[in-house]
Amino acid sequence: MSDKITLVVRFRMEEPAKQEFIAKLQDVFTNIVKEETFVEASLVQDLRDPESILNYEVWNESPESFMKNQMSKAYRREFEKMIIDLKIDRTPAWYSTIAHWKRA
């Protein structure tokens, strides 16, 4: 198995929480983009269900090393607290790449 993983996290929240959520996530990513094993990320909103947001991240790590090395970072604490405080539902899933295409 490759040490390159894709983490997709589905967040569900009510509209009033969305602005604070996005602002805090942007703060967290000012640090994440400096991490050596970080590759890329994007945040997308479901066009039919505005309460559903997906965060898509690619890392050069295994799920186990990610949890050990990344989730313990001090800059993540405030974001994790906000998820609890705003009662945001979070569903993470790990993926490995089995095929890849790019524009020619």
Q: What is the pLDDT of residue 79?
A: 93
Distance (Å, whole) CA 70 – CA 61 = 10
- Per the structure block, which two tokens stand in for 33? 């983009």
Q: Is the pLDDT of residue 94 over 90?
A: yes
Helix locations, 1-104, DSSP H: 15-32, 63-69, 77-85
Confidence band for 2, pLDDT divided at 50, 70 and 90: low
User: Domains in the chain and their CATH numbers?
Assistant: 5-95 (3.30.70.100)
pLDDT tens figures, 28-65? 999 999 999 999 999 999 999 999 999 999 999 999 99
pLDDT tens figures, 63-86? 999 999 999 999 999 999 999 999
Task: Give how far the C-alpha of residue 27 lies from the chain's centroid of Cα atoms, to the nearest Å.
Answer: 13
Helix then strand then coil, % of the chain, to nearest 5:
35, 30, 35
Q: What is the pLDDT of residue 9?
A: 98
